[in-house]
Each structure stands twice: as C-alpha cells, then as structure tokens.
Amino acid sequence: MQLRLEPRAMPSKWLRYSSPLIALALTLVFGVILFSALGQNPAVALYTFFIRPIGTLYGLSELCIKAAPLLLCAVGLAIGFRGNVWNIGAEGQLTMGAICGGGLALAFYGDEGPWLLPLMIVGGGLGGMAWGAIPAFLKTRFNANEILTSLMLTYVAIQVLGYLVHGPWRDPEGFNFPETRLFGEDALLPVLIEGTRFHFGVVLAVLAAMIGWVFVTRTFAGFQIKVVGQAMAAANYAGYSGNRVVWTGFLIGGGLAGLAGLGEVAGPMGQLNPTISPGYGFAAIIVAFLGRLHPAGVLLASLLMALMYLGGESLQMNLNLPLAITGVFQGTLLFFVLASDVFIRFRVKLVHNVPRTAP
Amino acid sequence: MAEIDTIVAILVATMRAGTPLLFAALGELITEKAGVLNLGIEGMMLVGAVAGFIAMVLTGSPLIGVLAAMAAGMAMSGLFGFLTLTLMANQVATGLALTIFGVGLSAFVGLGYIGNPIQGLPGLAIPVLGDIPVLGSLLFNHDPLVYVSLVLLAAVTWFLYRSRAGLILRAVGESHEAAHAIGYSVLKIRYLAVLFGGATSGIAGAYLSLVYTPQWAENMTAGRGWIALALVVFATWRPARVLLGAYLFGGITIMGLHVQAAGFAISSHLVATLPYLATVLVLVLISRDATRIKLNAPAALGKPFHSSG
C-alpha cells in the first residue's frame, strides 16, 4: 500500500481558489507548533501576531501603509510572472525609484511648489522602470538570464543608495548620520486620515492594482502575456512576441516598484536613508504567488503579508520575540502555497503494490 | 621580494574569496546536471553558515561545525526536493521561497550568536611542500577546506565524465522520459543530486562563518549564492570552468579592496558593486550565443517529472 499522485482529468476549480486558504491554515498550525516550541502560549502568541496589531484605527492604517508597497510591487511582478518573466529584482527597482524620486525632492529643496510631488511620482516610476529596463534589454538582446541580472542589480542599487546617503546626499546638518535632510512640505504625500500616517500613496497603490486587473483581464497585451506564459509554441504560432512580453513585464514591474519606493520615502520616511525597505520587493514575490498572480488576489495577499510585518513587530514589543520570525512565517506560507498547488492538478490515491511486470 | 610577497598574498586571498563560490557552484552544477534548477542556494548557504557557527560555538570542533552545516544544507535541499520532485511545485518559485525562508530562519536561529567571536579554522600547511618559497604559500599553505574544495572539483569532474553513475545522472538531466523508460528511478537520482547540492551549499556557508570571517552576521552571504548560480551558467555546466569563474570572482572582490587600500578615493559602496556588475557582464558575454547555452544546458532543466507507470 502506498500513496500515489494521480492526474485529475480537469484541474479542480474548488481547490484553485481554496488552496491559498488551506496554505494559510497550515501556516497557522505551523505557528502553533513554533510558538509552543518557543515556550509561548500559542493562543496568546497568534493573537499578538495576527489580531492585536489591527485592533485600532491606527493599527488598520499602519496595515494599509505596509500593504501599499507590497501591493504595488506584487501587481507588477504578477503581470510578469504570468508571462514567465522572472523579475525578482523588485527590491532594486523600488530602491532606484526612491533614489530618483527622493533625489528630485533634494534637488528642488528650498524652492518648491505644488508641482514637485507629481514630478517626484513620475520620477520615481521612471527610475524603477529604467532599472527594470536593464534586465529586459539584456534578456532580449543578449539572452542573459533575467533572474540573475535583476537580482544582481538589486545589490547594485542598494549599494548606490548607500553611497549617496553616506556621501554626496548626506544631510549637511545631520551630525554625519547616513541620511539625507528631511524633505520639504511640498515633497511629501499628503496624510488623508487625521491622527494616522495613512497617506495618498495607499490610494495610488489600490488604483494601480485596479488598472492592473483591467490590463490582465481586458486587454490584448494582457492576453498575449498569458499565452506566452502558458504555451510558448502557441504564442509563436500566433505571432506574439516573447521579447515584447519581457519588456512589458519588466517596465510595468519596474515602474510600479519604483512608485512603491517613492511612496516610502515621500510617505512615512520623509527622507532617504540606507534601509528604505524591509525586503518588500522580495516579500512581493510571495504576495504575487499567494494572490494567484491575479491583481484581486494580490490585493488580499498584500494585506495578509503586511499583517505579518506588523505581527512580527507586535511579537517583538509585547512578547519579546525576535523580529526575524516574520521571515520564517513568510517563507513557510509560500512553501505551503506552492505545495498545495499540486492538488489542483493531481489527486492523492491509495494504491496497492502491484508487482511490476518485466518490460 | 616584497612585490612577489604582495602578489602571492593577493592570489591567496583570491582563492579564499573564491572557495565558498566554488563549493556552492559545484553542488548546483550536479543538481542542474540532473535536470533540477535550485535557486535556493543563498538560503541554504545562510542556514549552513548559522548551523556551522552554532555547532562550532557549542562543541568547539570545526569538523562538527562543517558537518552540521552540511546536514543543515541537506535538510533545506530535502525540503526543496520534496516540494519540487514529489509535489512537482514550480522550481523557480520554490527556490525563491527557500531563499526567503533561509534568510528568515538563519536570522531567527542565529540571533543569540551575533558578535560572538570564535577561533577560525586553523591553517593546514603541508609539510615540506609548504616550505617551498612562493609556490609553497600559494598552493600548500591554506585552510583545510580549500584543499577539500579542490578535491571535490576533481571528484565531481571524474564522477560526471568518467563514472557510470555520472552518465546516468546526465541522462536524467537530458531526458527524464528516456531515463525512466530504461528503468532508472528519475526521482531517486534527482533527490540525491539535490541533497548533494544542499550539502555543498552548507559547506560554502560554513566557509564564510568559520573561516572567511569567523563570526555570524545576518545575511552574511551577501548574494554569493546567486553569484554561484551565475557561475554555473558562466561555466556552461563544466566543472573546470567553475573553478576558473570562482577564482575570477574572488579576484574581483579582492581587487576592489586593494584598489581602496592603495589610496584611491573610491567609496566602499561603489567598490562593493563590482562583483555584481561583473556577474551581469559575464552573463551577458556568455549568454550572447544562445545556441551555445542551448547545447550545454541540460535539456530537461527545470521541467517537472511525473511517472505515469
């Protein structure tokens, strides 16, 4: 007797949508085991991780603030992933967007106007887009693996940021701290809810997700991406260009990640410093898969992932547990999502061992 | 003589910087030759680094440290194997997940060990040969793991091209259907290859935390796992070229440091971008010829296998 995986005649529709929930449930079970092993009461720890951070209006607004960059990055990545464009350098594109947008704020410091913020938003988007264009160019022109190039460029972008804030862009009155001066009033995203940090960037992110939804489900370009991703032979036969899909994926992904970076520096931070993002660009990969590469799913997944960041902070503050737990939870969740995917296309069957006949 | 001494010192430092890359890339080479693409090297290295470091602190034995790192790397790659081989999950996504998980797990486990100093692995000068001027310090005066990495290179080369088992492994990587039809267990062979990749990534991590900079710091691999992946492409899946690539990248890292030490006013941040930019450049140069990549890459790389009979 043994367990075997047998292909289903048709992929299970029910499991397609419920498997992320199953994965989440399994992650919770993992959480119970983990917290018990750490000598914590699992009920208290899970409450502190998942519920307590969003018990107040302020908590909810913090959730939205953290979800916004994840949502922006993940919508862009999901569009690429649908077409088998493996842009995993969103973190670098986010950083470049922050550098370009934030650089404009510094350049026009002291003589600014209401035109500055829109200029920064465009600059941030274009900065991310330009950084995303490099792997796209190297892939389409030189066939260089985009996973590796986009990731290498992430490390480069982070070092460039480090160079700028340690060197030429350092705040002249900042006592040598590696950070720029605080941006002027006109360079900041307006706060929309009094008493919280809920800023205009969140609205931008939701807007981007909605446009992304229309793009993948209602446009020809979105359809082409899907065909190239699922059946390259059919795409070739139809005359769809794989190179065009690479460019589309990277420009959209890079642009949205750049916006996310701008939203961080012109939003909650108000300046540039060496660590703009706690790995939003990487966590967005999880968000994209958890959301089934669909903008609507990505919206829900980004809220969940944001909750994990807040939960980690809440555990640190209230139960004195290390912040790194967030990463463990995120990785585990993605494992379960990927593992439960198999049951969409396969069913588990108990078979009796039949002696194999000789060929 | 002083100049020769400097050159020798630079070359020795280059070998040290290249050794973790060599370990990790050799493991990934075997994994990819069996048709599996594991993008989780960075995560496996980090978990190996922290496991090796903790074992070293607890037992004081470098050997146990290295073994613990191997075991940790294998556990991580076993997880990867279960998801991609048994459950047929997407290899690219699972590899990314393995890295994200490894970064988090190693940071979590290693929290109490940051800044904990240890005695690094002692050097192992080979008697008599180690006393030869210039050549002695260049070839026979390293830490033990440098020798191990070179022996491993020879063993991998022999295994792939001179042994029957290596031939079977390559067959599985070229066409799993054909290998399966002949009667080889595709899954078993792929599991073994993936576990080997985990073990060498673990050692690569331990090399960083026990030898190269004997301490534990979060994210201390700093992208070396990804550079190792690029090295396999750079080497067009040939072991000897992996060595060349690993030392080349080691050399670039060291060169940056020496340029700074020589008094050139270059920001350390910009110097730190050199290995990454070099990786991109090398990838472009190698991949430009699409046919060459196609001819050398294992044909079944990244494709899941489900036996129907």
Q: What is the pLDDT of residues B167-199, one digit of tens each?
A: 999 988 888 888 888 888 899 999 999 999 999
Q: Which of A148, A324, A329 sits opposite B111 (nearest CB)?
A: A324
The pLDDT value given to residue A209 = 81
Nearest to A118 by CA among A210, A61, A205, A200: A200
Reported confidence tier of residue B41, pLDDT bands at 50, 70, 90: very high
Q: Shortest Cα distance from B300 to chain A (angstroms)?
A: 16
Q: Which of B93, B269, B284 sits opposite A159 (nearest CB)?
A: B269
Q: Shortest Cα distance from B125 to chain A (angstroms)?
A: 36
Whether residues B283 and A328 touch (CB distance < 8 A) is answered with: no
Query: 3-state DSSP call for residue B130?
Result: helix
Mean pLDDT of B13-20: 91
Does the pLDDT value for residue B48 go beyond 90? yes
The pLDDT value given to residue B125 = 67
According to DSSP, the β-strands at A346-351 and A2-7 are antiparallel
C-alpha–C-alpha distance, residues B135 and A115, integer Å? 66
Instruction: Give B39's contacts in chain A (Cβ within 8 Å).
Output: 147
With CA atoms as reference, the chain A residue closest to B100 would be A331
The type of residue at A317 is: M
The pLDDT value given to residue B1 = 56
With CA atoms as reference, the chain B residue closest to A289 would be B93
Whether residues B97 and A334 touch (CB distance < 8 A) is answered with: yes
Q: Shortest Cα distance from A347 to chain B (angstroms)?
A: 11
Whether residues A327 and B89 touch (CB distance < 8 A) is answered with: no
Give the mean pLDDT per block of 10 residues along chain A (359 residues): 75 79 89 87 88 87 93 93 90 96 91 89 95 95 89 92 90 83 86 85 89 85 86 84 90 95 91 88 88 86 90 87 83 86 79 58
Does the pLDDT value for residue B60 go beyond 90? no
C-alpha–C-alpha distance, residues B47 and B72, integer Å? 6
Residue B307 vs residue B22, higher pLDDT: B22
Residues pairing with B124 in the sheet: B142
With CA atoms as reference, the chain B residue closest to A286 would be B97
Instruction: Give B44's contacts in chain A (Cβ within 8 Å).
Output: none
Instruction: Give A285's contacts in chain B (Cβ within 8 Å).
Output: 93, 96, 100
C-alpha–C-alpha distance, residues B98 and A335, integer Å? 8
Mean pLDDT of B130-151: 78
Whether residues B283 and A332 touch (CB distance < 8 A) is answered with: no
Instruction: Give A359's contacts in chain B (Cβ within 8 Å).
Output: 183
Size of interface A-B (CB pairs under 8 A): 144
Whether residues B93 and A289 touch (CB distance < 8 A) is answered with: yes
CATH of domain B2-296: 1.10.3470
Residue A347 vs residue B29, higher pLDDT: B29
Sign of the dihedral defined by the CA atoms of residues B143, B145, B147, B149, in that order: negative
The pLDDT value given to residue B74 = 96
Instruction: Give B104's contacts in chain A (Cβ within 8 Å).
Output: 324-331
Instruction: Give A151's contacts in chain B (Cβ within 8 Å).
Output: 223, 226
Whether residues A285 and B96 touch (CB distance < 8 A) is answered with: yes
Instruction: Give B276's contacts in chain A (Cβ within 8 Å).
Output: 152-153, 155-156, 159
Nearest to B203 by CA among B73, B43, B103, B81: B73
Report which listed range, B61-75, B100-114, B275-289, is most confident: B61-75
The pLDDT value given to residue A234 = 86
With CA atoms as reference, the chain A residue closest to B107 would be A324
Q: Kindly state the percentage of chain B with pLDDT values over 70.
A: 93
Whether residues A153 and B108 touch (CB distance < 8 A) is answered with: no
Nearest to B155 by CA among B35, B26, B43: B26
- DSSP H/E element including B171: helix B164-174
Q: Shortest Cα distance from B87 to chain A (angstroms)?
A: 6
Q: Please, what is the Cα angle at B230 between B291 and A143, to 5 degrees? A: 35
- DSSP string spanning B270-306? HHHTHHHHHHHHHHHHHHTSHHHHHHHS-TTTT----
Interface test with B, best of A2, A85, A152 (most B CBs within 10 A): A152
The pLDDT value given to residue B298 = 87
Q: Please, what is the Cα angle at B168 between B166 and B174, to 5 degrees? A: 105
Does the pLDDT value for residue B309 go beyond 70? no
C-alpha–C-alpha distance, residues B20 and B211, integer Å? 10
The pLDDT value given to residue B53 = 93
